[in-house]
Amino acid sequence: MVIEVKKVSFGYSTEKVLHDVDCVFEGGGFYAVIGPNGSGKSTMIRLLNRLLIPDTGTVQVNGRSVQDYPRRFLAQHIGYVPQSGGSSANATVFDTILLGRKPHIKWAPGKSDFKKTVNIIRDFSLEHLTLRLTGELSGGELQRVHIARALVQEPDVLILDEPTSSLDLSHQIEVMKMLKEVSTKGITVIVAIHDLNLALRYANQFLLLRDGSIIAMGDERVISEQNLRALYDVEVQKVDVDGQSYILPLLR
């Protein structure tokens, strides 16, 4: 599934957040959308599955505008994990994950929907939490539940808004590893993310946004010291440790 963003501008009330953005998300990649706070990352990814509608320009899925697809069709193909508040605190883990089957269900979940939910709960090692309320979970557990829900949707594309922002280091790595595994199965993963090193370690495509415009897009090479300086107004050094690149901010 290919998602193309064509000359898209978007604003909340009078303030423009994105200006004439053009980019393409090819099937199967692991994309990291990077940029400072307020650069338009969350807006950008929410335009991809029609959570927001562009003021001008179009977002196309497989050559057709997202607005021409039924919402249910998009939901069958694009999963979404919001940054926060993605579930009712009073719902059980099982009921929350089962919701992911919604796009495939007309009225009520059937046997195969229950089976798929049971399987993903097992795959994500959440069995012991099956009947716990999501409001009682830790940040890491909750994020796993939300990703499990998006995956039980059986999407071709998985979009996540800062999936690691409220997690400790080990859970950040756990979630990114999980997403990497998802992308190796052929599902396109698109994350808005602040942590450059996690992005560099796990993603393979990068989109750099500043003030609502793309300043670079491409593979690891676009994460250059020069581009990052332009992005954040901060001096950084890209260092290599055991063949893996890391970004060090130079605090002067």
Partner 1 sequence: MKDGNGSETEELIRKQYVRRLTFMLSSLLVLLVLIFWGLSMGSSLLSFSDVVEVLTGSGSEVSRQVIFQIRFPRILAAIATGAALSVSGAVIQTVIRNPLGSPFTLGLSAASAFGAAFAIVVLGAAGAGFATGVGSLARMPWIITLSAFLFGLICALLITGFARWRGATPEILVMAGIILTSLFQSGTSLLQYISTDVELASVISWMFGDMAKATWDKVTIQFIVLLPAILFFVFNAFSFNALNAGDEVARSLGVNVDRLRLWAVVVASLCAAVATAFFGIIAFVGLVVPHVTRWLVGHNDRVVLISSVILGGVFLLLADIISRTIIAPVVIPVGIVTSFVGAPFFLFLIIRKVRKSR
Q: What count of other Cβ atoms lies within 10 Å of the Cβ of residue 252?
A: 5
First to last CA, the chain: 45
- Which one among 58, 130, 166, 245 touches partner 1, defined by CB under 8 A? 130
Spell out, one character per residue from 179 to 198, where the chain touches partner 1: x when CB under 8 A holds, - when not: --x-----------------
Residue 152 in contact with residue 104, Cβ under 8 Å?
no
> Based on CB atoms, which residue is closest to partner 1, 59 or 99?
99
Say if residue 6 is exposed, middle or buried (CB neighbours under 10 Å; 0-12, 13-18, 19+).
middle
Residue 124 binding partner 1, by CB under 8 A: yes
Residues 172, 57: Cα–Cα separation, whole Å: 35
Residue with tokens 């599934």: 1
Residues 119, 14: Cα–Cα separation, whole Å: 46
Residue 136 binding partner 1, by CB under 8 A: no
Residue 192 is encoded by which pair of tokens? 């808005």
Question: How many residues bind partner 1, per CB under 8 A?
Answer: 48
Residue 174 binding partner 1, by CB under 8 A: no
Residue 121 is encoded by which pair of tokens? 């709960």
Stretch of 2-10, 20-28, 120-128, 207-215 contacting partner 1, by CB under 8 A: 120-128
88-117 positions binding partner 1, by CB under 8 A: 88, 90-92, 94-96, 99-100, 102-103, 105, 107-109, 114
3-class secondary-structure state, position 32? strand
Binding interface with partner 1 (CB under 8 A): 46, 49-51, 70-76, 78-80, 82, 85-88, 90-92, 94-96, 99-100, 102-103, 105, 107-109, 114, 118-119, 121-125, 127-128, 130-131, 153, 178, 181
